[in-house]
Chain A
């Protein structure tokens, strides 16, 4: 599955790799949302800059990015609450660029639930059905069905404010799926919930997505949420799409320093590429690191580059000399934290460059003492060479 999904990003036909369950096998690659060259310009700020994006039927796509990256703007443009400056939006094959919101046939879940405080839970869920002029008996049946689906039948007559945050968000989910919209937009729906509840709700949303086969466009700034839930992640930065692909692709094959830093934790070594003895090496403060040679081919000699090594790929206390396949380097242990299932080492190289290494925790594991010198190693195949990004400064760990 992972392989299949990561191939997606390499330009294969989406029809061949479509990961979502399809009801209609005749049109497996039907596009539910197509956005082309969409731009939103505010007087002094370009919130969205020529973004193009397609979402397949049944796909779970997450718009991920820091605040101000344009992800919510894109969602608001698709929902019709904001009008684009230029570009087109197609929903389910129909040009929706200038279509009023209430004609777009979408479902939407808001961060603050947006339940009507003056209506009971039942009335809230019945609302979209009343709009659709459905008979009273049918409404009652469908509302109770969907309440059963989110396991909250017993709160039908309560007001939303009498419910917990998690319950309210399940009601707002129920209100959304009760009228079977083919597309559901979610704007940080779990942002107001605490961690445990958030994880439960992630599973619940995943379950509903799988059961209903609905197309989901999900906005979050939480990379864990994006990695857990999505078929495809669209990483946004400054109003543009930085990179898109499966969670695995974004994690293992980031294409930019921004992607590498935003998703997962990372060691990013900045330096200049120099050719030594016929192979390229990255010159950083006080050390030369060998780099994946295949990747380095596209970099000119002397160019600025960044080497990404995930902490879990750095071994502490390993043996062996540096080679074309391995980096092996001496580091000083600054601190070691035991975080339940994992152990995290904070280290410094000779030139002052900081490195994080992560191990699985095991009983009886010998931890290096603070200030001691250890050998750290990683395989070059686990590292990734990225072009330097002058506009990016790594956040302090």
Chain B
């Protein structure tokens, strides 16, 4: 019905879209273009910033660190998040709401607060190390913050709700009769999971991975607060160029490279997701 007789005239549509378009142009597109411009304009057009970047060992090191940390954080968050999402999807609606609230709780807390809370929990004289100390008689103290472990723990803490929610979405979208049908046909739980539940949840998994990874590679506060000196990530490097060396063109160039990498990743994963999506998205 809406296909052959649109409810809105195109003029009304434009009017309704205008506020959002203006907002995006002003606070998203303009800064983006400004950054791009900044990276190539220093009194005249130049690729000096990019040259400096691509010949800098620091940049490559930070880039590698960023990828390793992001990949690890995303992978762990997937491994931890999938079983949680699966469990929540199998709860009756009432209990599901309670569990979802628990998942969302860290989501609603400021990332700054969470990071400091984690230092209290994981620090040298934090709760866990105090417990370990009292058990081992002061022998045992595991450094868990201001190193890569801390950075990754902090990131996972932030990333998990995104992973769980997107996987849960595609689990709940599955027709429960599919698993029942498989069961009647004689399939055991493991086979049902492997052949039905898992493949049909791939769109959610891919969405979760994309969100997690893109959030990870742009992460700033958490690695700064919980990571060690060796764990500088790209966002921290941008900060370094912006505030320490005041080399804005290079900072902008890094931002542009980061954006390009994110874009390429989303495009690649979106391809995978697309092929899976046609199979199960609307199931």
Contact = CB atoms under 8 A, between A and B. Distances in A.
Partners in one complex: yes
Interface of A: 79, 81, 101-108, 110, 112, 114, 116-118, 127-128, 131-132, 159, 175, 179, 185
Interface stretch (B181-189, B223-231, B265-273): B181-189
A166 to B, nearest CB: 18
Interface string B29-52: 000000000000000000000000
A132 B186 contact: yes
B187 A114 contact: no
Nearest to A128: B185
B177 A127 contact: no
8 contacts: A79-B184, A102-B186, A102-B188, A112-B177, A117-B282, A117-B283, A118-B199, A175-B185
B175 to A, nearest CB: 7
Given A81-B180, A110-B177, A112-B175, A118 B200 contact: yes
A159 B282 CA distance: 14
B264 interface: no
Contact of A179 (B177, B180, B185, B196): B185
A102 B187 contact: yes
Contact of B280 (A101, A102, A105, A117): A117
Top 5 closest pairs, chain A to chain B, by CB: A118-B279, A128-B185, A114-B181, A114-B177, A108-B184
> Does more than half of chain B's interface fall in helix, strand or loop, or is it mixed?
helix
Contacts of A110: 177, 180-181
B26 to A, nearest CB: 43
B243 interface: no
A263 B279 CA distance: 42
A114 B175 contact: yes
A107 B184 contact: yes
Nearest to A105: B186
Nearest to A127: B185
B178 interface: yes
A117 B187 contact: no
Contacts of A107: 184-185
Interface residues of B, number: 22
Contacts of B181: 108, 110, 114
A117 B184 contact: no
A102 B191 CA distance: 11
Contacts of B177: 110, 112, 114
Given A116-B182, A118-B283, 19 more contacts: A79-B180, A101-B180, A102-B185, A102-B188, A107-B185, A110-B180, A112-B175, A114-B175, A114-B177, A114-B180, A114-B181, A117-B282, A118-B199, A118-B200, A118-B279, A118-B280, A127-B182, A127-B195, A175-B185
A107 to B, nearest CB: 7
Contacts of A114: 175, 177-178, 180-181
Contacts of B178: 114, 116
A128 B180 CA distance: 13
B183 A102 contact: yes
A105 to B, nearest CB: 7
A116 B199 CA distance: 10
A131 B279 contact: no
B196 to A, nearest CB: 6
A159 B279 contact: yes
Contacts of B280: 117-118
B184 A106 contact: yes
B171 to A, nearest CB: 14
B186 to A, nearest CB: 4
Contacts of B279: 117-118, 159
Among B182, B186, B279, B283, max chain A CB count under 10 A is at B186
A235 to B, nearest CB: 25
Contacts of A81: 180, 183
Contact of B184 (A101, A118, A159): A101
Contacts of B200: 116-118
Given A81-B180, A114-B175, A117-B279, A131 B185 contact: yes
Contacts of A185: 184
A102 B195 contact: no
Contact of A131 (B180, B191, B282): B191
Contacts of A131: 185-187, 191
A91 B244 CA distance: 78
A103 B219 CA distance: 50
Nearest to B182: A127
B170 to A, nearest CB: 12
Contacts of B185: 102, 107, 127-128, 131, 175, 179
Nearest to A132: B186
A377 to B, nearest CB: 52
Contacts of A128: 185-187
A376 to B, nearest CB: 47
Interface in B178-211: 178, 180-188, 191, 195-196, 199-200
Given A110-B177, A131-B191, A159-B279, A116 B184 contact: no
Contacts of A101: 180, 183-184
Contacts of A175: 185
Contacts of B188: 102
A102 B283 contact: no
Interface string B19-34: 0000000000000000
Given A81-B180, A110-B181, A159-B279, A116 B186 contact: no
